[in-house]
Amino acid sequence: MMKKIVIVGPESTGKSTLSQELSQHYANHFPTAWVPEYAREFLAELNRPYTYEDLVTIAKGQLELEEQTSQALQEASGNQPSLLFVDTDMMVMQVWSEFVFDRCDPFILNEVVRRKYDHYLLMQTDLPWTYDKLREYPDQERRNKLFQHYYDILQRQSTGWSIVFGLGKDRTNMAIRIIDNLLAG
């Protein structure tokens, strides 16, 4: 049986790094895979500012990438337990859309409800913001508002979730402890 763990949170909080580290850590025990963030690839190739309409395109690309990775992991693991780490899901698309455009396309909202995961890891904004040409919100106040938006959404849904914080290996080790407890339960 495949367990799906989603890593969410504001930009520059270590989602991609943690997704990779967790996949590598658990590869010693289970077949694992991680789904990278499709938006990075899409935006890097976009030769103009992104629009509200682009977010649905990005969402569909993210879902396709998740489905491909999930299917490949399922085929590779057969009946063995496996772990899929998802760096960014439709909740991230919802928060991004609502924060930037004050609205969210029904396609994304429907996918937020429809898709099922085993646990969410919400990344705290305690890491220093790191410049990247695709990142938009270096100020801590906006980062905290984004974190609160995720927190509020997670409070209203039924899937288990945890906040991950700390620097370096402390952050990774906290996530490992959370997942170990999930797997033991």
CB 116 within 8 A of CB 1: no
The arithmetic mean of pLDDT across residues 72-87, rounded, is 94
- Entry pTM: 0.95
Q: Which run of H or of E encompasses 118?
A: none
The arithmetic mean of pLDDT across residues 33-46, rounded, is 94
The arithmetic mean of pLDDT across residues 38-62, rounded, is 96
Output the pLDDT for position 99: 95
Going by pLDDT thresholds of 50, 70 and 90, the confidence category of residue 38 is very high
Q: Average pLDDT, whole number, for the chain?
A: 95
pLDDT in tens, 160-184: 999 999 999 999 999 999 999 999 9
CA distance 57 to 82: 29
Distances (CA, A) of 82 to 34, 39, 57, 77, 112: 11, 25, 29, 7, 23
* Residue 161 identity (one-letter amino acid): W
Report all structural domains of the chain as residue ranges with CATH numbers, in order of start. 2-184 (3.40.50.300)
